[in-house]
């Protein structure tokens, strides 16, 4: 069975720390973001069919399949949509990678959240791409530079703090300056 070409997108995030549950937004709607040579926006409801399908979505660290933090099948990852975007709640395991994520979150050092997807329905207007329906494969905690700047990641208990990366760089598979 062949694997489709999965696109990855992410965002810089404010991070708060306390506890073992990460929560926030892996994607935000109607947030125009420069991706390479074009602008991309996610339409409200873009994840609806994928979430309703019951597909097992993974929570990874930096899109690495060998660093699993949770999954919807086990219930350790919960995903939902609201007016803002794709909301997640992730109960972190007691693993070295998860302990590192917690330590980075407590210090405010995480880069943000990201998601891996296949576009099912998209529309182009000039050099602007609107994602109308996507097949969601994974969300990732990103330690460095994700593309979108409006997602949020929180460790439960402390109010969110916002920080934005000053350089207008985009992270896909490489850094674009």
Please report, for the domain that includes residue 64, its CATH number.
Answer: 3.20.16
- How many structural domains are present in the chain? 1
Look up the pTM and report it.
Answer: 0.76
Considering the domain boundaries, does residue 1 fall inside one? no
Considering the domain boundaries, does residue 60 fall inside one? yes
**Mean pLDDT value across residues 42-55:** 97
Pairwise CA distance, residues 156 & 23, whole Å: 7
Q: Is the pLDDT of residue 115 over 60?
A: yes
Considering the domain boundaries, does residue 2 fall inside one? no
Q: Is the pLDDT of residue 70 over 90?
A: yes
Q: Is the pLDDT of residue 134 over 70?
A: yes
Q: Is the pLDDT of residue 152 over 50?
A: no
User: Which domain covers residue 51, as residue numbers?
Assistant: 7-176
Q: Is the pLDDT of residue 13 over 80?
A: no
Higher pLDDT, 151 or 100: 100
- Assess contact for 12 and 144: CB atoms under 8 A: no
Q: Is the pLDDT of residue 23 over 80?
A: yes
Mean residue pLDDT of the chain comes to 78
């Amino acid at each position: 069975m062949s694997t489709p070409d999965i696109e990855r997108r992410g965002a810089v995030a404010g991070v708060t720390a306390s506890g073992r549950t990460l929560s926030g937004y892996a994607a935000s709607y109607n947030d125009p973001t420069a991706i390479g040579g074009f602008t991309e926006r996610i339409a409200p409801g873009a994840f609806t069919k994928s979430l309703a399908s019951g597909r097992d979505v993974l929570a990874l660290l930096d899109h690495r399949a060998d660093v699993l933090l949770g999954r919807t099948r086990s219930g350790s990852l919960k995903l939902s949509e609201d007016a803002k975007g794709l909301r997640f709640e992730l109960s972190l395991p007691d693993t070295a990678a998860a302990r590192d994520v917690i330590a980075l979150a407590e210090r405010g050092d995480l880069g943000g959240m990201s998601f891996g997807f296949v576009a099912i329905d998209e529309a182009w207007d000039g050099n602007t791409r609107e994602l109308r329906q996507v097949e969601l494969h994974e969300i990732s905690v990103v330690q460095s530079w994700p593309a979108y700047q409006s997602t949020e990641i929180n460790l439960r208990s402390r109010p969110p703090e916002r920080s934005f990366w000053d350089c207008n760089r985009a992270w896909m598979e490489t850094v674009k300056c």
